[in-house]
Amino acid sequence: MGTSEKYIEREAEKYGLARHPDKCNEKLRRSKGREFCLNCFTNDLKEAIETNFRTLQLRYGLNNVEIEITIEELLKRNQIKGFLDSKKQIFIFLTTEMEARLVSDLQSQGFVDLDQLQQNMSASTATTTRIMIELIRKNKLRGTFNHKKTRYYLEQGLTQLILQEIKTHGKVVHYDLAQKFEIPEGNVKNYIMNMMRNKIIVAFFADGGKITLSEQELESEIENFCLKNGIFMINALATHLQIAPELARRALFKLIQKGTIRGIFTQNHEFLTEEKLSEKIKAIARAYRTISIGDLAKKLAITEQRVEEGLATLISRGSINGYIDMAKRQFVADGKQPVTSFSSHAPHTSTNASATPQMPSKIGEVEVVRQYDFVGGQLHFKVVVRNKSNMAIHDIKVILDVPSSYRRARELITIPVIDPGNTHGVDFYLEPAECGISTIGGTVIYKDAMGKINTMNVNPKDVQIKCPLLIKSLDTIEDCQKAIQSLPSDARAFLIADLPPQMAYSAAHRAVGQFDVTNVASYEDDKSGNYEAEAWFSSEAKVTGGRVITRIYINGSSSTLEIRVWCNEAGQLTGLLAKMIELLFVEINMMRKIKSEERNKTMDVMAITRNLMEISNICLLRYRASSAKIKLEDTYSRLTRITSDDDQSVAKIYEWVKKLEEDVYEDEEAMLSDEDADSLDIDIQSIQQALHAQLSV
């Protein structure tokens, strides 16, 4: 009874009864018998990154099957970390900490050199490669090995490396990048295409997709080509840049809109810089002195309107001397033409600050004033010319200097004559393409009764376009109807005859839905054969405060679509309406690309998405159960057309339709209870996820 523990242990070891791993002292390893110590076996596996089965056979006298079974059991019990390569009969020891460190290093620098990893781990090339493949598999990494499998690039890391090359050089050859990174040339192009698709970079392919040009490099090369040639065919520019003619034309047109390059396109697919145009007109003026606008247009291969605009601009800048006789539709050269040339590129300083050769004469007798307001998502800029003299003025040209942030139908308006003491105004309608503060000015050119040309500047006016940041508001349709009574509004209407009204409604709904708004109510009716739909959205301006309410309305009989916005600030109202219209056109163009046989399913899916969004809002507002029931019934009807009847989502919606028919919700004005609203909202979220997963397959 008094026998000590140590005595018992010694006796157990003496008769071979001890099996505790701590009592082995490597005796079993040296004996090389059929019995072995798991502790010693495990320690051997941990001593090196890789351990082959042959080593374990020599140490423990086990065959390959026994070694594999033992290691698998140790891995299952988490007594050791790593993975087993049964084919090559190797165990690779890799702890969770080591794995996490490798993944962290890979993600931080974007790639890993396997040669360096092999050196750090003191492992074979095959083992290092296997470790890398195992990390990729376990962590679901996306990337690629180079040709020699000496480096692994993470997709994000390789993207950044290629992006840096494009930003540094502007123009990169795909073959050169493929050689540098030792990856297939097709992979380089795919990575660049993904960057373009995800709007990480604005760039273009050249030379049949073998070269990538950044937008800045493309514009720089076009500028240099214009400076060098002055007049050229668009195809010649495209050939020089190794790009498609349409891309060359669009890129050149964008530079003109930005004011970087000045010039015009001719009807012969040519481009003339303003300097070359001036030289041509001067040569014609010296030869003819007087020439009709029509003949000048034919000689220059441009429209008569462009001739008028070009002449007016060149006269106002002092590039040519003469005037336009609007009664006879002629250009009359006046005196000796200027010999100084000017750059076809926009100057760095403001044009309003530069001196003009003809200063305004008889100050006070002719006056120019300007003002603006907002109409239908557009900026209405009005210029008024007041003739305070006792003689008529004629051939008045009003030229507007508009920044590239506005789309405009025209920049020049002609007034034939203004009698003494009379006033004449002209209206320009500009559509803002972006928000911010911009300056709009212009020039007025006129001839007095003596035929002398006078020039006056339209004083620059700062215009602020605001596109407010919106946040959802917890408003009901009744709140919106009440709020619009005291809010100013503006609207834009469009003909949608080339698109089914249901798809136009979906396009408008999606465009407005891209803002952080609450869809408080919607209505669709197609029973009479004339489709009609309406939707209301509520929100608040995040920075300035105040309600912002939006309504879309579709009338199938007249094929019209209207978007109306109520907002208490005119600048925000115009900016928001303009942005919504821009998004609407994007959505409509997308709808037009949908094949006719797929349109019914597409419209059902879009209607279901709208319904689910509105039901979720009804739950949030604890609004009428009858409104939720109508939307659920429509969703049920549409969902059964695109899924099977036994679909779980269909079953859930059917259950809720029946629940909302119970006595507690018999009254049309009955509101959803808190419990039912929360429960319905949870189900709606799960249905949305299930629908998204189903359509993504």
**Predicted pLDDT of residue 336:** 57
Residue 428's alpha-carbon distances to 410, 423, 577, in angstroms, are: 8, 17, 18
* One-letter amino acid of 134: E
Q: Does the pLDDT at position 346 exceed 50?
A: no
Give the whole-angstrom CA distance, residue 585 versus residue 606. 17
What pLDDT is attached to residue 1? 43
Kindly indicate the confidence band of residue 361, based on its pLDDT and cuts at 50, 70 and 90: very low
Residue with the two structure tokens 């890993």 = 112
Whole-number percent of the chain with pLDDT over 70: 80
178 sits in which H/E element: helix 174-181
Hey, is 408 helix, strand or coil? strand
377 pLDDT band, cuts 50/70/90, is low
Please compute the mean of the pLDDT values over residues 618-645 and round it to a whole number: 81
Q: Which residue has the higher pLDDT, 408 or 488?
A: 488
Confidence of residue 74 (pLDDT cuts 50, 70, 90): confident
pLDDT band at 225 (very low <50, low <70, confident <90, very high): very high
In contact, 249 and 204? CB cutoff 8 Å:
no
For residue 467, the model assigns a pLDDT of: 67
Q: Is the pLDDT of residue 157 over 70?
A: yes
Bridging pattern class, strands 393-401 and 412-418: antiparallel
pLDDT tens for each residue of 672-690: 888 888 888 888 888 888 8
Residue 438 lies in a domain: yes
Higher per-residue pLDDT: 233 or 137: 233
The 3-state DSSP composition of the chain as helix, strand, coil percent (nearest 5) reads 45, 25, 30
The mean pLDDT value for 407-418 works out to 79
Provide the pLDDT confidence category of residue 173 given band limits of 50, 70 and 90: very high
How far is 286 from 268, CA to CA, in rounded Å?
Answer: 24
pLDDT at 118: 62
Torsion of CA 620, 621, 624, 627, to 10 degrees: -60
Q: What is the CATH number of the domain that holds 650?
A: 1.20.120.1130
pLDDT band at 5 (very low <50, low <70, confident <90, very high): low
In a domain, 220, yes or no: no
**In a domain? residue 362:** yes
Nearest to 37 by CA among 23, 61, 21: 21
**pLDDT tens, 597-619?**
577 777 788 888 888 888 888 88
On whether the CB atoms of residues 449 and 392 are closer than 8 A, the answer is yes
Question: Do residues 502 and 567 both lie within one domain?
Answer: yes
pLDDT at residue 36 greater than cutoff 70: no
Query: Which residues form the domain of 515?
Result: 470-586
Q: What Cα–Cα distance (Å) separates residue 309 from each residue in 184, 263, 412, 415?
A: 52, 12, 6, 13
* pLDDT band for position 695 (cuts 50, 70, 90): low
Mean pLDDT of 38-44: 72
The answer on 640 and 570 residing in a single domain is: no
25-34, 41-50, 593-602, 639-648: least confidently modelled range: 25-34
DSSP annotation string for 195-215? HHHTTS--EEEETTTTEEEEH
Residues 567 and 536 in one domain: yes
Domain boundary among 432, 458, 484: 458
CA dihedral 621, 626, 630, 631 (to 10 degrees): 10
User: For residue 11, what is the domain's CATH number?
Assistant: 1.10.10.10
Q: Is the pLDDT of residue 551 over 90?
A: yes
Same domain, 581 and 617: no
If we measure between CA atoms, which residue out of 257, 268, 222 comes closest to residue 242?
A: 222
* Distance (Å, whole) CA 512 – CA 604: 19
Sequence-distant (≥ 6) Cβ neighbours of residue 682 within 8 angstroms: none
pLDDT given for residue 384 in this prediction: 92
DSSP 261: B
Taking a C-beta distance cutoff of 8 angstroms, is the pair 229, 191 a contact? Answer: no
Q: Which of 362, 430, 356 lies closest to 400 in space, CA to CA?
A: 430
Q: Which of 84-93, 246-255, 392-401 has the lowest average pLDDT? A: 84-93
Structure tokens at 52: 């082959």
Share of the chain above pLDDT 90, in %: 5
CB 255 within 8 A of CB 270: no
Mean pLDDT (the chain) is 78
**In whole angstroms, what is the distance from residue 208 CA to residue 227 CA?**
26
Q: Is 337 within a domain?
A: no
Residue 113: which H helix or E strand, with range? strand 111-113
Higher pLDDT, 92 or 228: 228
Cβ(237)–Cβ(271) below 8 Å: yes
Number of domains in the chain: 4
Q: Torsion angle of alpha carbons 340, 345, 348, 353, nearest 10°?
A: 50
User: 198 pLDDT exceeds 70?
Assistant: yes
Q: What is the pLDDT of residue 211?
A: 92
Q: Is residue 512 domain-resident?
A: yes
**Whether 480 and 569 share a structural domain:** yes
Q: Are 24 and 39 in contact (CB under 8 A)?
A: yes
* HSE toward the beta carbon, residue 490, CA cutoff 13 A: 22
Residue range 94-132, pLDDT digits in tens: 666 677 777 777 777 777 776 766 666 666 667 667 777
The reply to whether 444 and 480 lie within a common domain is no
Distance CA 236, CA 242 (A): 10
Q: Is residue 661 part of a domain?
A: yes
Query: What pLDDT does 317 receive?
Result: 62
User: Closest Cα to residue 237, out of 273, 201, 203, 202?
Assistant: 273
Residues 449 and 481 occupy one common structural domain: no
Among residues 410, 431, 458, which one ends one of the domains? 458
Angle at which helix 53-60 crosses helix 38-46, to 10 degrees, equals 150
How confident is the model at residue 628, as a pLDDT? 86
Rounded mean pLDDT, 246-256: 87
Of the candidates 214, 216, 241, which has an alpha carbon nearest to the alpha carbon of residue 226? 241
- H-assigned helices in 155-269: 155-169, 174-181, 185-197, 215-229, 234-241, 245-258
Residue 373 lies in a domain: yes
User: What residue ranges in 138-196 does DSSP mark as E strands?
Assistant: 143-145, 151-154, 171-173
CATH code of residue 506:
3.30.310.10
How is residue 3 written in tokens?
A: 């026998």
- For the entire predicted model, the pTM comes to 0.43
Residue with tokens 């095959």: 126
Please give the pLDDT value at position 549.
92
Q: What span, in angstroms and rounded, lies between the C-alpha atoms of 201 and 159?
A: 11
Question: What value, to the nearest 5°, has the Cα angle with vertex 481 and ends 478 and 483?
Answer: 105
CB of 504 within 8 A of CB of 554? yes
Do residues 474 and 582 both lie within one domain? yes
Q: List 491's β-bridge partners, or say none.
A: 564
Are 483 and 568 in a shared domain? yes
Same domain, 560 and 619: no
The CATH number for 402's domain is: 2.60.40.10
Does 579 lie in the same domain as 479? yes
Lowest-pLDDT choice from 12-26, 324-338, 378-392, 437-451:
12-26
Alpha-carbon span 3 to 18, nearest angstrom: 17
pLDDT at 57 over 80: no
pLDDT score for 376 = 60
Contact 519, 480 (CB under 8 A): no
Angle at 217 between CA 216 and CA 221, to 5 degrees: 120
Sign of the C-alpha dihedral, residues 345, 350, 356, 361?
Answer: positive
Considering the domain architecture, whether residues 515 and 605 belong to the same structural domain is answered as no
In the chain, DSSP finds a helix count (H) and a strand count (E) of 24, 29
- Phi, psi (deg, nearest 5) at residue 200: -75, -30
DSSP string, 502-538: HHHHHHHHHHHHTSS-EEEEEEEE-TTSS-EEEEEEE
**Model pLDDT for residues 292-317, shown as the tens digit of each residue:** 888 888 888 777 777 777 777 667 66
pLDDT attached to residue 394:
84
Query: Which of 485, 555, 557, 475 is CA-nearest to residue 521?
Result: 475
Distance CA 446, CA 451 (A): 9
More confident residue, 117 or 393: 393
Predicted pLDDT at 550: 92
Residue 543 is assigned to a structural domain of this protein = yes
Of the candidates 423, 458, 493, which is a domain's last residue? 458
